[in-house]
């Protein structure tokens, strides 16, 4: 994720490969640490073959000589697999095999629900399938515990904050009341995943829509039925998927086990428990969907009839009504009410426009303007979309743009003001974080940079790794480059400069050997220490 990094590591006792999850250095805020601890607590509850198992969690002891000290970590089961939808596509699974795979996913989610845990971010990327075809549910970072155990429910969600991944979020998740989210929200996500696995696409195309419009689509619009995509899905499959994705929670499957049971019945050729919606229910749903249009039509008809009657009476009693002061007062009150309703509609329309403008400003990296627009929104109209944009702005200090070609790589220290931005094979920009100013543009000809670099803690020196068995040491004050040769070594994506600025920890790989952590002198290029077996 954007704030976490996962390493493949070897545990010594017992000997096994594990996934080591860390918080990115410099981003370990108290809120993120609480979320990290919460994920460990939640995983500690769950013991199921379909859920990645946690082995250990804690914090690395503080060591001033180590760039990795003071780090919260989670050591968990390493899952060598691919995302669910990618696995189904690459293995070319038929409908039966895809449904059997989804049954095992439902069983894992049901296990979590039975132990009081709602995932809240189920999606194909959080469900990996191993080479043996076994699915594993991952990433319980925003899961919610359904009890009062204060040791577990350490993550609190602010009202108005986006919870989950938009295409897989249920109607209640895009609403403003977080308390409405329960296990049936996960059932909706399972329905979306099942739809995507079978149809090869999402139920709703939300890519080109604004956040408020995407939320409206999820709440109000019905997706294209599977049976309309292919006749293969006509009948029970169409019914099962549609029931899992019902807008109303009460009409969905009430548990993951119910969904799995209906899929099993279908595969066994038995009648399913879910049923197609009745004609009366479909009619009521359409009436609810077009409620305001129906109300407007009814008001118009009633109003027209009332006006005809009124006109007839008015012609006969004109002289008496002219003297009726109470009627005049009622007309004045009605006029004020009408003006008030029009004003409210204008306020809401202006709010929607402001949210769209703020989203456009964010896309243009104008963070300051986004903040001004959001601050101007009336407090009584602010919904979850306002909270989402505010949370993005509040976590961003300022946006820095690089000149020239698009810079794909960045490296900076936590304290120094200078940092480097570059694109492999193009220029290196030495820039200032405080002003965004380009201090120096460096170009070393046709030499191609690797994708790894780091900056010393004081921001005075940067080290780049290249695919030519070399290290580049760049002085960020004099801009002098020193090339250090390494014997038959290739650099990994991981390297760090020690606090003294004279040594670097690099992950090197010689031909036929695994990646090895190596301490290298930045003055002479000599190998100081090789940590075999680390």
Domain ranges of the chain: 4-77, 83-137+159-280, 343-399, 409-530
The single residue listed with the structure tokens 């503080």 is: 62
Query: Would the pLDDT of 399 be above 60?
Result: yes
Please check the confidence at residue 403 and state whether its pLDDT lies above 90: no
Confidence of residue 340 (pLDDT cuts 50, 70, 90): low
In the predicted structure, residue 4 carries a pLDDT above the cut 60: yes
Residue pair 162/392 in contact by the 8 Å Cβ criterion? no
Residue 336's CB: how many other CB atoms inside 10 A? 10
Q: Which residue has the higher pLDDT, 502 or 326?
A: 502
Indicate if the pLDDT at residue 35 is higher than 60. Answer: yes
| Joined tokens for residue 8 | 């493949």
Whether 70 shows a pLDDT value over 90: the answer reads no
Give 487-521 pLDDT, tens digit per residue.
665 655 578 899 888 999 888 776 677 778 889 89
User: What is the secondary structure of 303-328 as a DSSP string?
Assistant: HHHHHHHHHHHHHHSHHHHTT-HHHH
Name the strand (E) or helix (H) holding 329: helix 325-363
In the predicted structure, residue 234 carries a pLDDT above the cut 70: yes
Question: 425 pairs with which residues across the strands?
Answer: none
Q: What are the CA-CA distances from residue 186 to residues 181, 257, 264, 487 (Å)?
A: 9, 12, 19, 53
Give the mean model confidence (pLDDT) for residues 347-360. Answer: 89
Average pLDDT over residues 396-401: 68
pLDDT band at 195 (very low <50, low <70, confident <90, very high): very high
Query: Sorting pLDDT into bands at 50, 70 and 90, what band is 148?
Result: very low
For the ranges 20-34, 254-268, 365-379, which has the lowest average pLDDT? Answer: 20-34
Confidence of residue 156 (pLDDT cuts 50, 70, 90): very low
Q: Mean pLDDT over all residues of the chain? A: 81
- As annotated, the active-site residues are 121
Comparing 144 with 34, the larger pLDDT belongs to 34
What mean pLDDT do residues 264-278 have? 83
| Alpha carbon distance 212, 356 (integer Å) | 8
The pLDDT assigned to 304 comes to 58
CATH number given to 4-77: 3.30.200.20
**In this structure, CATH architecture of domain 83-137+159-280:** Orthogonal Bundle (1.10)
Mean pLDDT of 130-140: 93
Q: Would you say 375 and 367 are in contact if contact means Cβ atoms under 8 Å apart?
A: no
Q: Could you report the per-residue pLDDT of 98-128, keeping only the tens digit for each?
A: 999 999 999 999 999 999 999 999 999 999 9
Q: Average the pLDDT over each of 185-189, 286-290, 399-403 and give the range with the smallest value.
A: 286-290
Q: Do domains 4-77 and 83-137+159-280 have the same CATH topology?
A: no
Q: What CATH code is assigned to 409-530?
A: 2.130.10.10
pLDDT classification of 281: cutoffs 50, 70, 90: very low
* Pairing verdict, β 527-530 and 516-521: antiparallel
Q: Summarize the confidence of residues 329-340 as an average pLDDT.
A: 60
């Amino acid at each position: 994720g954007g704030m976490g990094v996962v390493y493949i590591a070897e545990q010594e006792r017992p000997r096994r490969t594990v996934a080591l999850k860390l918080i990115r250095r410099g981003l370990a805020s108290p809120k993120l640490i609480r979320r990290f601890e919460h994920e460990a607590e939640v995983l500690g509850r769950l013991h199921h073959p379909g859920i990645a198992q946690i082995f250990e969690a804690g914090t690395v002891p503080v060591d001033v000589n180590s760039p990795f000290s003071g780090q919260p970590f989670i050591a968990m089961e390493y899952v060598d697999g691919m995302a669910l939808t990618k696995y189904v596509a690459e293995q070319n699974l038929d409908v039966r095999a895809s449904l059997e795979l989804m049954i095992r996913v439902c069983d894992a989610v049901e296990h979590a629900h039975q132990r009081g845990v709602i995932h809240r971010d189920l999606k194909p990327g959080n469900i990996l399938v191993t080479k043996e075809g076994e699915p594993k549910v991952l990433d319980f970072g925003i899961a919610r515990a359904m009890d009062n155990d204060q040791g577990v429910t350490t993550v609190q969600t602010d009202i108005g904050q986006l919870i989950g991944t938009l295409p897989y979020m249920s109607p209640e998740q895009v609403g403003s009341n977080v308390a409405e989210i329960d296990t049936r929200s996960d059932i909706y996500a399972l329905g979306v995943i099942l739809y995507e696995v079978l149809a090869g696409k999402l139920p709703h195309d939300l890519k080109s829509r604004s956040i408020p419009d995407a939320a409206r689509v999820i709440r109000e619009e019905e997706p294209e039925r599977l049976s309309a995509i292919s006749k293969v899905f006509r009948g029970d499959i169409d019914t099962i998927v549609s029931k899992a994705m019902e807008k109303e929670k009460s009409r969905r499957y009430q548990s993951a086990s119910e969904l799995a049971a209906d899929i099993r019945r279908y595969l066994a050729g038995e009648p399913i428990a879910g049923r197609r919606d009745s004609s009366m229910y479909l009619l009521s749903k359409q009436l609810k969907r077009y409620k305001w249009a129906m109300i407007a039509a009814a008001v118009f008809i009633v109003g027209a009839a009332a006006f005809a009657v009124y006109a007839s009476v008015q012609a006969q009693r004109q002289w008496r009504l002219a003297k009726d002061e109470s009627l005049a007062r009622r007309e004045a009150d009605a006029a004020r009410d009408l003006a008030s309703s029009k004003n409210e509609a204008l306020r809401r329309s202006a709010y929607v426009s402001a949210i769209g403008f703020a989203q456009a400003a964010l896309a243009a990296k104008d963070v300051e303007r986004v903040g001004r627009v959001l601050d101007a929104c009336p407090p009584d109209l602010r919904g979850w979309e306002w909270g989402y944009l505010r949370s993005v702005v509040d976590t961003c200090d300022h946006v820095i743009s690089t000149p020239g070609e698009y810079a794909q790589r960045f490296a900076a220290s936590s304290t120094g003001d200078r940092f480097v931005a570059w694109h492999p094979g193009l220029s290196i920009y030495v820039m200032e974080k405080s002003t965004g100013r380009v201090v120096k543009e460096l170009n070393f000809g046709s030499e191609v940079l690797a994708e790894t670099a780091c900056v010393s803690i004081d921001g005075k020196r940067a080290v780049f790794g290249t695919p030519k068995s070399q290290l580049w040491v760049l002085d960020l004050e004099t801009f002098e480059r020193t090339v250090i040769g390494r014997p038959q070594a290739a650099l990994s994506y991981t390297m760090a400069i020690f606090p003294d600025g004279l040594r670097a920890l690099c992950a090197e790989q010689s031909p036929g050997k695994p990646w090895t952590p190596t301490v290298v002198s930045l003055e002479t290029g000599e190998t100081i220490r090789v940590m075999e077996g680390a």
